[in-house]
Structure 1
Amino acid sequence: MDKIDIISQIEGELTWRSEELIFLKNQLSIIEKEEDKERYRKSLVVMLYSYYEGFCKSAFQIYINAINSENLKRKDVNLLIRTSSMHEIFLNYGNESKKDSRFNKELPDDSKLHKYSRQVVFIEEFANFLNETVNIPEGVVDTESNLKPVVLKKILYRLGFAFEEIDISENTINKLLGYRNAISHGSKKNGISEEEYNKLEKDVKTLMDTIRIIINKAIISDDYLFKAQ
């Protein structure tokens, strides 16, 4: 893994969004009426949410791709990364329609028995799973259409970050979502003042920078690797 390149990719995702937001914000200078400026800031808030969700999704995906590119064995990565890489395996063994052929005719509807049989096979194959190459699926980074605090925490947890120790600025996220939803649904017809918008933008940029820092730290410190206690 070229750590400098990975960190540079994440920085790039943050930079182009910041530069584009500055460009859009600068259009306020050609709007004369304050009332029209306030209306325009509503579109800036919608874009601000888009940048927040888009950056988080892209940054986490870069992190996943970096780990996958290492061709590590599951036994060599931390427990949560290992578990995420086994997503498809868990789905397969949790498939209730999958029945043990030895009991399929005599006990076709014994769901408990067939579940137990799948568990036996899973345990039997577990050593092999640990020696397979890590491939974390893209679906692990699921923003669920609204990247709420709890959704962000779920992503952090699945990727092995100590989400309970990270200040993800829940108030900022909830405030941003509140504005975005109110604007999208038409319930916020009035515009947004300069002071109101600037405070929100500053907080959201701080939040995005926090995500950048925790991912970069994980890359630098090899936090995705298994470390014996």
Structure 2
Amino acid sequence: MKIRSIEDLTNYLDDDLAWRRKEIIELRAMAKSAKAKKADVHVRAGVAMLYAHWEGFIKNASNAYVVFVSTRGMRTRDLQDSFIALSIKTKLTLMGESGKSSVAVPVISHLMSLLDKPALLPVAGIHAEGNLKSEVFVNIAGWIGIDVAQYSSRFNLIDETLLASRNKIAHGEYLSISPARFDTLAEEILELMVWFKADLENAAALKSFQRLDSSVPV
């Protein structure tokens, strides 16, 4: 994945969202046009695919943004705290689990040695960590400095409608959702994906990844 400019980032996000949007629209159309029990089949398949697109886009888009930031070649000290934390994520995990000075001190020493060097960001370091429920989404957003206030009103939709329904279907349980409800759900989840794309593009344009007190020219 080569994303060296805002244009590259926008093109990547456009392409990744476009095919997902097209497939979601097709799923909605099939559910609407199907009759009776056949509609149930299309809806259940649609819910499973809708969740897959939700998880896939958030993960891919987040990693694309990390790649974009990594190509800025900025010193570690010039990045926002979230990206500094991301750059030493593995070592922070070890420190948190250990609780020992013999682990914590080398981690801090490692961080201090990196401050004036180009940041080393894990370009595929954003994972869904199982199911992409609202809590996981908040965690992902936190690693890349995205404000989740706009999304909070739909956390229940993500957890109690999309994810809960998808899990029941994945575990072989029968679930009946009307084509109309699926259509609304698909529209709302797709809108969340559009919001996230816009947030990443704005963050890139505004250089939100850079510390306000950084010596790097804005």
Length-normalised TM-score, structure 1: 0.80
Aligned pair partner of 2:174 in 188, 198, 211: 188
User: Residue in 1 aligned with 2:209?
Assistant: 224
Deviates more, 1:152-161 or 1:137-146: 137-146
Letter in 2 for 1:84: L
Residue 54 of structure 1 deviates from its aligned partner by: 0.5
Identity of counterpart residues, as a percentage? 23
Report if the CA contact (8 A) 2:16-2:57 is conserved: yes
Counterparts of residues 117-156 of structure 1 (less than 5 Å):
117-124=102-109, 126-138=111-123, 140-156=125-141
Decide whether aligned partners of structure 1 residues 49 and 122 sit closer, same or farther in structure 2, where only a CA change above 3 A counts: closer
How far apart are the structure 2 equivalents of 1:91 and 1:124?
Answer: 15
Letter in 2 for 1:3: I
Decide whether aligned partners of structure 1 residues 39 and 220 sit closer, same or farther in structure 2, where only a CA change above 3 A counts: same
Decide whether aligned partners of structure 1 residues 38 and 140 sit closer, same or farther in structure 2, where only a CA change above 3 A counts: same
Counterparts of residues 1-229 of structure 1 (less than 5 Å):
1-28=4-31, 31=34, 33-90=35-92, 115-124=100-109, 126-138=111-123, 140-163=125-148, 165-168=149-152, 169-174=154-159, 175-189=161-175, 191-228=176-213
Unaligned runs of 5+ in 1: 97-111
Decide whether aligned partners of structure 1 residues 22 and 130 sit closer, same or farther in structure 2, where only a CA change above 3 A counts: same
Report if the CA contact (8 A) 2:94-2:103 is conserved: no
What is the total number of aligned residue pairs between the two structures? 209
Report if the CA contact (8 A) 2:10-2:201 is conserved: yes
Q: Which has the larger Rg?
A: 1
Unaligned runs of 5+ in 2: none
How far apart are the structure 1 equivalents of 2:133 and 2:32?
Answer: 32
Decide whether aligned partners of structure 1 residues 28 and 90 sit closer, same or farther in structure 2, where only a CA change above 3 A counts: closer
Length-normalised TM-score, structure 2: 0.84
1:167 is paired with a residue whose SS is helix
Cα shift readout 1:30-63 (whole Å, capped 9, x = no counterpart): 74x3221122211011100001100101100100
How far apart are the structure 2 equivalents of 1:29 and 1:95?
Answer: 50
Report if the CA contact (8 A) 2:24-2:186 is conserved: no
Residue 171 of structure 1 deviates from its aligned partner by: 1.8
Aligned-residue CA RMSD (Å): 2.5
How far apart are the structure 1 equivalents of 2:7 and 2:191?
Answer: 22
How far apart are the structure 1 equivalents of 2:43 and 2:210?
Answer: 44
Cα shift readout 1:105-138 (whole Å, capped 9, x = no counterpart): xxxxxxx8xx435545555554422022212225
Letter in 1 for 2:174: K
Deviates more, 1:215-224 or 1:168-177: 168-177
Residue 2 of structure 1 deviates from its aligned partner by: 1.5
